[in-house]
Amino acid sequence: MLSPKLEDALNKQLNAEMYSSYLYLAMSAYLHAADMDGLAHWMYVQSQEEMAHTMKFFNFINDRDGRVVLDQLPAPPSEWKGILDVFEATLTHEQEVTALINGLADVADDENDRAAKVFLQWFVSEQVEEEATVKGIIQKLKMVGDSGSGLYMIDKELGARAAVDINAVAAEE
């Protein structure tokens, strides 16, 4: 059973993950409108992945006899200065999520909830991967600058990202 403090913190993270999905869907729409279909696809898959993270929290809270509480989500931005700005905003957002996950892990430590600590370790590791991936994309975008052929290559590469099976990710332990 979850302590009230941990249950509240887990619900806040669930809603933050849902906002992440919403934000990346807005970024996908922006990139699609810019005719960067591969980048739009990459961001769409990122949105799916964040929804899978939401469901991991949903399932964990329910499995621990907690109560899932959904909050109203703020509208995400719909405009950026360009492609590089989208991915720099993505990195900033992922760094914010990392801080939230670390804070949540602190609550699990404070509450001495071993099951939550084990559950959250997956997210701690996931955030390292998320930040590294986006940093790599930013480096490539900076390297090619406004080169049409360079952007075409990046768009093609990121467009090959495989879709996410939300149920499979949500069920991972």
Given a contact cutoff of 8 angstroms between Cβ atoms, the answer to whether 163 and 51 are in contact is no
Task: Identify which of 80, 94, 83 has the alpha carbon closest to the alpha carbon of residue 141.
Answer: 83
Query: So what's the pLDDT on residue 169?
Result: 72
CATH numbers and ranges of domains, the chain: 4-171 (1.20.1260.10)
Query: What's the pLDDT tens digit per position in 70-94?
Result: 999 999 999 999 999 999 999 999 9
Residue type, 99: A
Q: Any idea which of 44-48, 113-117, 146-150 has the lowest mean pLDDT?
A: 146-150
For 20, the enclosing helix (H) or strand (E) is helix 4-33
Query: What's the pLDDT tens digit per position in 116-153?
Result: 999 999 999 999 999 999 999 999 999 999 899 999 99
Distance CA 59, CA 100 (A): 19
Task: Identify which of 7, 77, 20 has the alpha carbon closest to the alpha carbon of residue 53.
Answer: 20
